[in-house]
Amino acid sequence: MCINGKPNRRITRRRVLYMGLGSAVALATRQTKCAITTREREKPNILFLMADQYRADCVGAEGNQAILTPNLDRIAKEGVLFRCAYSSVPSCTPARAGLLTGLSPWHHGMLGYGRVAEHYENEMPLMLSEAGYYTLGIGKMHWFPQRTLHGFHKTILDESGRSETPDFKSDYRQWFQQQAPDLNPDATGIGWNEYAARPYALPEKLHPTSWTGNQAVEFLQNYNQSSPFFLKVSFARPHSPYDAPERFFKLYETADIPKAVIGQWAERHAQRGKKLPLSTWRGDLGEEQVRRSRQGYYGSVTFIDEQVGRILEVLEKRGWMKNTLILFTSDHGDMLGDHYLWRKTYAYESSARIPMLIRWPDNQVNAKRRQILRQPVELRDVLPTFLDAAGVRFDAKRFDGRSLLDLARGKTAGWREFIDIEHNVCYSPENHSNALTDGHFKYIFHAFNGTQQLFDLQTDPGELHDLVADPKHKETLLYWRRRLIEHFNERGEPFVANGDLGLRPKGPLYSPNHPGLKEKT
């Protein structure tokens, strides 16, 4: 329940400053088929931490002086923070398909919010279990069917009240019913995609963030197998509802939480004079509501960080920090009112840019710690990173991703020059785009009507100034448009038409490579 797992050592601003962490680092048949072999050396444990809908700028190590994340800051300080990490399809399920497979959107087949396929050739838990790991997933997986394992020996699920089939009830909901049979797990009264924020209405011990942390701690305390473990701990927050316990709301009561950034181009999303639903995807809700939403969101972030601290403490006590690879990331971000937008799916930084922190075991990676790297990286890189750490040899052509440990080692030659971002129609037909970024410039093509945007992220990280109409950037705009056309060459129509970018007002949602489509044909 606290930074070191002790009730009297909860996160407070004074304590973070005292610790010196608040501003630290501101800165088998299948094996035969796939030709996988393992180097003869001790394999590290792998701890994969992720949170849902977690913005990249909500880590203290990113330079955010308002947010309290001492435990994530520690991971960054003892490893690498990747400043230009992105989610290529920034919504829950397609992002998780990229994580699972190590593939780009076109190759894993999900171009927007749909269903993760039941089977893939590449599956992270299966490949690690075949490499000798005991594999466990805790928290939100967001797969279909929901009890699909994808090679995990076991999953312990919190699916945020989501029930894809009539007979499904998550492990968290079953536990909650046993603990509090007379209470409603949704008593706080906020929907899963609403902007409202208020303190959790029930005892803190019943919160899904507490439950997820407890499950991870219990596993680590009791693990006694001879094989290394691959543990995925997937928190369902800070995704809405923004319902952190009361003490976290109080923690940010007077904090200087950054205001929403509003681009000169964003007025069309303000929706002035319209009555907007609580689950709106856009609209000017006013500074007061933005701050309240962010107060709840920041509270949820620090609540998660506290659970991360408890997990790290168990690793310390068991002597495993020196032999455990730790990676933290998210599936996508959260606009939180930036540019009058809410939720996710957009190519803008608040939605598409994600935290990516990695800390490697002692004596296993010859690399400098406390690095901040700016090469464009993506969720597709996580699986190759884990295989690299585990000593698994594989054909690099099997993945679109590459090992992040190569970048940590300084092996930057041949790294991708840019990363692709896209999302099929969601919320509204006009919310449908493709983008490219190298961390300096970002080019966005709106597939509904063909409009473009260009941002210089080095001078304008908030994406306030659209440079499309600026004559000084005419050649830059043409350069990035040509790059996107080249990126679409393997796709053909309707992505490219007559040698130029084509309009796609209706999709598609899946590419021909989606395994579910292949099984039907």
Q: Is the pLDDT of residue 39 over 60?
A: no
For residue 14, what pLDDT band results from cuts at 50, 70 and 90? very low
Encoded tokens for 223:
């693990």
pLDDT greater than 60 at residue 504 = yes
Strands 80-82 and 356-359: antiparallel
Q: For residue 187, how many other CB atoms are within 10 A of its CB?
A: 12
The residues, any chain, with a CB within 8 Å of residue 220's CB and separated by 6 or more, are 231, 311, 314, 315, 318, 320
pLDDT of residue 24: 38
Q: Which residues pair with 446 in a beta bridge?
A: 433
As a whole number of angstroms, the distance between CA 340 and CA 282 comes to 6
> How does pLDDT run across 239-272, given as a tens digit for each residue?
999 999 999 999 999 999 999 999 999 999 999 9
- Give me the DSSP letters along 142-171: --SSTT--TT-SEEEE--TT--SSTT---H
Whether 344 shows a pLDDT value over 80: the answer reads: yes
CA 261, distance to chain mean position in Å, is 21
pLDDT-based confidence at 1, cuts 50/70/90? very low
Mode of pairing for the β-strands spanning 45-52 and 229-238 = parallel
- Report whether CATH 3.40.720.10 matches the domain 13-413: yes
- For residue 189, what are its two tokens? 């009264």
How much is the pLDDT for 516? 85
Predicted local confidence at residue 518, as pLDDT: 60
| Spatial contact of 342 and 251, defined as CB atoms under 8 Å apart | no
Minimum mean pLDDT range among 7-16, 98-107, 296-305, 474-483: 7-16
| Over residues 281-299, mean pLDDT | 98
Whether the link from the prior residue into 384 is cis, omega within 30° of 0, is no
Task: Please give the pLDDT value at position 10.
Answer: 63
The predicted pLDDT at position 438 comes to 98
**Confidence at residue 180, expressed as pLDDT on a 0 to 100 scale:** 98
Flag whether pLDDT at 136 surpasses 70. yes
Mean pLDDT over 419-436 rounds to 96
Q: Give residue 37's pLDDT band: very low, low, confident or very high (50, 70, 90).
A: very low
Residue 13 confidence (pLDDT): 56
Q: What angle do CA 117, 120, 126 make, to 5 degrees?
A: 115
Mean pLDDT for the stretch of residues 153-182: 92
User: Which residues are tagged catalytic?
Assistant: 92, 142
pLDDT value at position 12? Answer: 63
Is it true that the peptide bond before 241 is cis, omega within 30 degrees of 0? yes
From the centroid of its chain, how far is CA 31? 29
In the sheet with 441-446, reading across from the earlier edge strand, the strands are 419-423, 433-437, 441-446, 452-456
pLDDT(3) > 80: no
Q: Which of 35, 90, 22, 19 is nearest to 61 (CA)?
A: 22
Position 189 scores a pLDDT of 97
pLDDT confidence of 71, banded at 50, 70, 90?
very high
Q: Point out which residues pair with 46 in neighbouring strands.
A: 230, 325
Strand partners, 421: 435
Does residue 19 carry a pLDDT above 60? no
Residue 291 has pLDDT above 80, yes or no: yes
Closest-CA residue to 463 (of 265, 284, 251, 248): 265
pLDDT of residue 431 exceeding 70:
yes
Q: 426 has which bridge partners? A: 428
Beta bridge partners of 375: none
For residue 91, is pLDDT > 60? yes
* Residues facing residue 154 across a β-bridge: 136
Instruction: Output the average pLDDT for the chain.
Output: 92
pLDDT band at 32; cut points 50, 70, 90: very low
Q: What is the C-alpha to C-alpha distance for residues 452 and 434, in angstroms, rounded to an integer?
A: 10
